Amino acid sequence: MTFAIQGAMLESHSEDVILRRGRLALLLVFAATGLGSVFAQTTPPGKADAGAPRKVTTVAQIRALTRDEIVSGVPVELRAVVTYYEPGEGQVFVQDGTGAIFVQPPPSPPVVTPGDEVLIRGVTVPSFSVNVKAASIEDLGNGRLPEPMPVTWSGMVARPNDCLYVTMMGTVRSATRQSVANSCKSTGAYLLMDVQTDGGPVRVHVEEPDGL
C-alpha cells in the first residue's frame, strides 16, 4: 500500500513518526547521522543584532537569535497556525509565514486542533537550537493549515526543514494496532506502521486510527 504522509517535521533519535488523522509530526532519529535530541532544531547562518530585542514576533526572528540571546529568555509573542497538538504529551508544533517551531506547552493549555490559529506568549529556551516555552496559548479561532512541502527521506533529516509541515510518499510494509497505557493519549490505541520510502524506512504512529 502506497500513500502520502503530511506532517510537521522534527529531528530526533528514532525513525518514529506521529500521525493524527492524516496529519503527522515526524519524530525522526537517524542514529548514523547523530543529529541531536528529540527536540533538536537549528538556527540559520548569520548573527542577530547585538543585544536581544525586547520581543520577537515571528519564527524567523526567533531562529535568528544567537545562542546567548536564546539562553537569556527573549520574550516571544508569536501568532501562528497549529500543525500538531498533543500538549498532554508535551508536543506542540506551529508555523507562521516565516517558518515553523516547536513549543513547550503551558501548564493549562487550551483545547485547540491542527489548523487553528493561536497567539503564543512566552520566552525562548535552548534545545539543540531553540524552542519556545509558552506561558500561555490563546485560541484565535479557525485558521488554515499551510501547504505541505514535499520532501524525500533525505529531506527529512535536513536541518532547514526542521518542524515544517511536509508531505512525503511511502509504502506500508506492516501495520499493527497498539494499546496505550498513557492517560495523556486522546485515544486508547494507535496504529503502528512500518513505511518504506525511496530513501529509507520510517516508523509511523497513527493516532485515532479508526477513521482510516
The average pLDDT across 102-108 equals: 95
Residue with cell 509541515: 165
Does residue 61 contact residue 78 with C-beta atoms inside 8 Å? no
Q: Which helix (H) or strand (E) holds 156?
A: helix 153-156
**Mean pLDDT on 78-102:** 93
Q: How far apart are CA 134 and CA 195, in angstroms?
A: 34
Between 45 and 96, name the one with better pLDDT: 96
Burial 165-196 (b: 16+ CB within 10 A, else e): bbebebeeeeeeeeeeeeeebeeeebbbbbbe
Checking if the pLDDT of 101 tops 80, the result is yes
Tell me whether residue 95 is exposed, middle or buried, using C-beta atoms within 10 angstroms of its C-beta: 0 to 12, 13 to 18, 19 or more: buried
pLDDT at 11: 46
What would the mean pLDDT of 4-15 be, rounded to a whole number?
A: 52
pLDDT at 178: 83
pLDDT number for residue 81? 98
> Virtual CA dihedral for 6, 183, 118, 112, nearest 10 degrees?
80
The tens digit of pLDDT for each residue in 145-194 reads 999 999 888 887 777 788 899 888 899 999 998 876 544 444 467 888 99
Distance, in Å, from the CA atom of 179 to the CA atom of 181, rounded to the nearest integer, reads: 7
Per the CB < 8 A criterion, the answer to whether 28 and 10 are in contact is yes
Q: What is the pLDDT of residue 121?
A: 98
Scanning 45-103, the segments in alpha helix (DSSP H) are 59-63, 67-72
Please tell me the least confidently modeled range out of 30-34, 52-56, 112-116, 204-208: 30-34
Q: Which three cell numbers stand for residue 5?
A: 504522509
Residue 153: partners with Cβ closer than 8 Å, 6 or more residues away: 168, 197, 198, 199, 200, 202
- Mean pLDDT calculated for residue range 133-151: 94
Q: Which residues of 146-161 are buried (b: 16+ CB within 10 A; e: fewer)?
A: bebeebebebbbeeeb
pLDDT band at 141 (very low <50, low <70, confident <90, very high): very high
Q: What is the pLDDT of residues 17-56, one digit of tens each?
A: 544 444 444 433 332 233 332 333 333 444 444 554 579 9
Share above pLDDT 70 across residues of the chain, in percent, rounded to a whole number:
70
